[in-house]
Homo-oligomer: A and B are copies of this chain.
Amino acid sequence: MTRIIAMLCALFFTLPAFADEPCCATGDLGLVVERTSGSLVVIDRSEHAAIGRITGLGDLSHASLVYSPDERFAYVFGRDGGLTKVDILTQSIVKRVMQSGNSIGGAISDDGKLVAVSNYEPGGVRVFNADTLELVADIPTGAKTIGLVDAPGRRFVFTTWDTGETWIADMSGDLQITKLTGIGAFPYDALITADGRTYIAGLFGEDGMTAIDLWQDPPTPQRILPHYGRGQEKLPVYKMPHLEGWALAGDRFVLPAVGHHEVLWVDARNLKEVARTQTHGQPVFAVARPDGRYVWVNFAHPLNDTLQVIDTMTSEVVQELKTGPATLHMEFTPRGHEIWVSVRDENLVKIFDTRTYEQIGEIEVTAPSGIFFTARAHRTGL
């Protein structure tokens, strides 16, 4: 009897979803955004395989997502203002709400209980119960809101495009907001360091960036990297670089330059520029391998068929890979032995060994963009 039930079980659970296992661990899974079809492909990084697809997520251009602490659910932030909770195990949508007209990214609190979304239209931030997607807090800012991240202590930090303010929303008790003004002209994106200490906003309207040390009480904005930006000549910028890529490589941060064929190296302690490396094109993402030993860079159109690898110790390019047309996104396995690369115009995610640079696998995905492994659930500010 036991054997029969087990057999039926296996059948029941495997048919809609998983080919190999009736019950499934989630530590090595992930999602790839299919931007043109509004769907997600579920991937298994141990198997180098796609194991399912979740459809019906609306406009996924520039979509991003975060994971619940158990690595079972993802919260997907669509450009159309849709917030969708998906279940990786059943490969289905749990709930979907249209929370605004136009949104740009989100975050999940350190305890996994709150999901926040930042909005262009009507602006502001909305915070939802991660279980039910019911609205918990509506935080109007009177401006387009960008650079939303989670910070330790059940906090969210975000910045306003129009008015140049950074707001710290502390939700550990009743909502408390700290507003910092004078961030600069038209902040377009922001990041928080992996330890959740330093929040840095990039500026579109002037050169330089603004750093905030969240350990200070009160935190005080500090202008850094005065020569970082488009410069006096207002260079054409094909694509503003993403700042989420800022990662610690040894004792330096790496930063994609704006409008130049360069990455910048910044001392992690004093946030001053210490070196520049000439690159193949305008960098979009400059991502440090998890051990910090090498930095992988992709580039803006029309030079976006290439990856370069830079040695952190020498700041020199040591490898160049022709990965294919529209190489949009990269994701390292959590301990860095592989990198997964979206090659949109070949409809492939390609997998490379980060030490031999050999391609060791590929997965068919329709117009892939962002790749997100579930291990992100355990990290701050992603």
Contact = CB atoms under 8 A, between A and B. Distances in A.
B25 A23 contact: no
A269 B290 contact: no
A262 B24 CA distance: 45
Contacts of A333: 69
B172 A355 contact: yes
Interface in A252-311: 268-269, 289-293
Contacts of A2: 12
A28 interface: yes
Contact of A374 (B27, B29, B67): B27
Oligomer: number of copies? 2
Contacts of A72: 25, 27
A134 interface: no
A135 interface: no
A112 interface: yes
Contacts of A111: 335, 337-338
A195 to B, nearest CB: 5
Interface in A1-59: 2, 5-6, 8-9, 11-13, 22-29, 45-46
B5 A89 contact: no
Given A71-B25, A355-B172, A335 B379 contact: yes
Contact of A152 (B13, B293, B377): B293
A142 interface: no
A378 interface: yes
A197 B291 contact: yes
Contacts of A316: none
A312 to B, nearest CB: 8
Given A5-B11, A8-B8, A11-B5, A335 B110 contact: yes
A152 B68 CA distance: 27
A332 B197 CA distance: 18
A24 to B, nearest CB: 6
A126 interface: no
A185 interface: no
Interface residues on A, range: 35 or more
A45 B289 CA distance: 29
A68 B46 CA distance: 10
Nearest to A268: B251
Given A8-B9, A112-B46, A27 B69 contact: yes
A248 to B, nearest CB: 8
A69 B45 contact: yes
Given A6-B12, A292-B197, A110 B337 contact: yes
Contact of A291 (B88, B248, B380): B380
A313 interface: yes
B337 A89 contact: no
Contact of A153 (B68, B110, B355): B355
A187 to B, nearest CB: 23
A139 to B, nearest CB: 21
Contacts of A110: 335-337
Contacts of A375: 377-378
A2 B89 CA distance: 18
Please list the 5 inter-chain residue pairs (A to B) with the smallest Cβ-Cβ separation, ordered nearest first. Answer: A27-B71, A25-B72, A334-B378, A28-B70, A110-B335
23 contacts: A5-B9, A5-B11, A8-B8, A9-B9, A9-B13, A13-B22, A23-B90, A27-B72, A27-B377, A28-B69, A46-B70, A110-B335, A110-B337, A111-B335, A111-B338, A152-B293, A172-B355, A195-B250, A197-B250, A215-B293, A269-B269, A290-B380, A378-B378
